[in-house]
Amino acid sequence: MMPPNQKRHLQPAPERPLRAVLYLRQSTHREESISLEVQEASGRDHAERHGYQVVAVEADPGITGRTWKRPAVQRVMNMIEAGDADVVILWKWSRLSRSRRDWAVAVDLVEQAGGRIESATEPIDVATSSGRFARGVMAELAAFESERIGDTWKEAHARRVAQGRPANGKPRWGYAYDPEEKLHKPDPETGPVLASLYRRYIAGESVYGLVRWLNSNGYETLPGYSASGAGPWSDRSLRRVLDSGFGAGLINVRGEQRPGAHEAVISMGEWDAYQVARRERRVERTTERSQYLLSGMVRCQCGSSMNGGQFGGAREPKYRCKQAHAQDRHPGGYASMRVVEGAVLAWLRDLAADVEAAGEASSLQQRSARRQESLATRLTREVERVNAQLLRATRGHIAGTIPESMYAQIRDELTQQLEGLQARQQAAAVASRRAPAPELARDLLADWEVLSVELRRGALRQLIDRVVVTPARPRSTVRVVPVWEGEDR
């Protein structure tokens, strides 16, 4: 026991070392893309020299410093605010942010929480006014460098676009990038597949069927086509590839499609046909995945559409008039699917085999093609007229003769009218380029057994405008209306 007259000598409690979090950011700009490993090593050396305890390492790889929406930097700020760290160590001051506003917000947030920010390679004593000034100069230099890099990229992008090249050399599915020529070229393996995807969609196969085919055959997307990087296809990623028009030799410039310098894998006629099919599918999406051959094509003689399904006690496949019972237009309203589809197949065989009928069909189709070509020409003049009206309205608004509210209404009406005219113009152009009907019929019959229902339906739509059914017992009557007779109805 210690004698009562002896004083206790208390030892001072050791101070807790400051806790440091290393923040690393790898720039998207190649010239200063310093590896995360180099940044971490410098940060740990800095912490060891100053006696800091490294409690976390956070990194934002390949993310620009011009945005504050970075997961790791947000976690670092949260650690400082929550008191889980005292010091943020950066490789350089520019790693935290290249934005003047974000820099000011970050510094204020850290200092309000009682922490501080330090650089492992650009030591500045921010405890003094001159040190804080020097830090401000470094932040301003980072912002200046960011703007300089941005201006350089803008000039490079503008040059590429002027040459008919996309703004960057990122991967495009179906193409391989040639770094020497700085040009995308059709890939020997996936280029023909991309062309096939367009043609199969035009022929009637759904996006969902194409996605299943791609995934089952081992084709993957490229990095940048989805949030998860390269991987399985989805209907969204495939539509994105096809809608871009890159396979048709087009590039996107601020939402506008322009001719590119790269080689197309499909013709402009096929691109127009794809756009028409795409627009029609938006309206008829329920029939795109239907299991029934004539979905979306069968009409009752009363004028209503007929839906395919299994009806009656025997659950027999039939087409049913949608309005027969609802509006008492006629009793029944059912037609055997076997009878309707059998009549269509017989019509198709007659078209392919009967020389006289085929000749008549070809003659009618040629007249129809000329009508469609003439219609496309008239619509082109209409598009020019509406564009001229829109230009005059815009000039009047700029000159102050047309008020803002009136101009907005005129602009919206003319834009809507223009979109409708352009859609009709494109559809007419596609219709005028259809292959001869007998030839289409023969090709379809030759491949009938191996084609999916979707492809059969798509091919039939190139020949048939509608199938008119008169429901009756014991047998309904069926009349096939070809496209060259039904286009002007």
| Domain co-membership, 142 together with 179 | no
70 in a structural domain: yes
Long-range contacts of 330-339 (CB under 8 A, 24+ apart): 330/302, 330/471, 332/471, 332/472, 332/473, 333/300, 333/306, 333/471, 334/471, 335/306, 335/469, 335/471, 335/476, 335/478, 336/475, 336/476, 337/292, 337/308, 339/475, 339/476, 339/478
Do 104 and 240 fall into the same domain?
no
Do residues 317 and 447 both lie within one domain? yes
User: Are the C-beta atoms of 372 and 428 separated by less than 8 Å?
Assistant: yes
Q: Is the dihedral of CA 38, 43, 46, 48 positive or negative?
A: negative
Is 329 exposed, middle or buried, given 0-12, 13-18 or 19+ CB atoms closer than 10 A?
middle
CATH code at position 258: 3.90.1750.20
CA–CA separation, 10 and 430 (whole Å): 95
Asked if residue 162 is part of any domain, the answer here is no
Q: Are 362 and 276 within one domain? A: no
Contact predicate 211/235, CB 8 Å: yes
Domain that holds residue 91: 19-149
Same domain (yes/no): 350, 413: yes
In a domain, 160, yes or no: no
User: Residue 251's beta-bridge partner residues?
Assistant: 258
Shared domain for 369 and 408, answered yes or no, is yes
What pLDDT sits at residue 480? 92
**Which of 288, 321, 348 lies at the terminal end of a domain, its last residue?**
288
Please list the ranges in the chain whose pLDDT falls under 70. 1-15, 27-34, 62-68, 97-105, 108, 125-128, 130-165, 167-169, 204, 224-229, 280-289, 324-331, 354-373, 426-436, 486-489
Q: How far apart are CA 405 and CA 389, in angstroms?
A: 17
> Distance of CA 60 to CAs 22, 35, 121, 219, 390, Å?
11, 11, 19, 30, 47
Q: What's this model's pTM, rounded to 2 decimal places?
A: 0.48
Q: What is the pLDDT of residue 31?
A: 43
The answer to whether 50 touches 125, Cβ cutoff 8 Å, is no
Angle, helices 337-353/437-446, rounded to nearest 10 degrees: 120
Number of domains into which the chain is organized: 3
What is the total residue count of the chain?
Answer: 489
Domain-embedded: residue 156: no
Assigned domain for 209 exists: yes
Same domain, 34 and 80: yes
If asked whether residues 136 and 182 sit together in one domain, one would say no
Domain assignment present for 163: no
> What CATH number has the domain bearing residue 86?
3.40.50.1390
Give the pLDDT score at 13.
43
What sign does the CA torsion over 377, 382, 387, 389 have? positive
pLDDT score, position 152: 57
Q: Do residue 333 and residue 458 come from a single domain?
A: yes
Question: Would strands 334-336 and 316-321 be described as parallel, antiparallel, or unpaired?
Answer: antiparallel
d(CA 274, CA 330): 39
Bridge partners, residue 59, by sequence: 24
In angstroms, what is the C-alpha Rg of the chain? 34
Same domain, 270 and 180: yes
Q: Domain check: are 44 and 145 in the same one?
A: yes
155 in a domain, yes or no? no
Nearest residue to 251 (alpha-carbon basis) of 313, 181, 175, 336: 175
Residues 90 and 39 reside in one and the same domain: yes
Distances (CA, A) of 357 to 216, 363, 364: 43, 10, 10
Q: Convert 405-435 to b/e letters by CB count within 10 Å (16 or more is b).
A: eebeebeeebeebbeebbebbbbbbbbbebe
Nearest-angstrom CA–CA distance, 411 and 276: 25
Within-domain flag for 165: no
- State how far the Cα of 277 lies from the Cα of 423, in Å rounded to an integer: 11
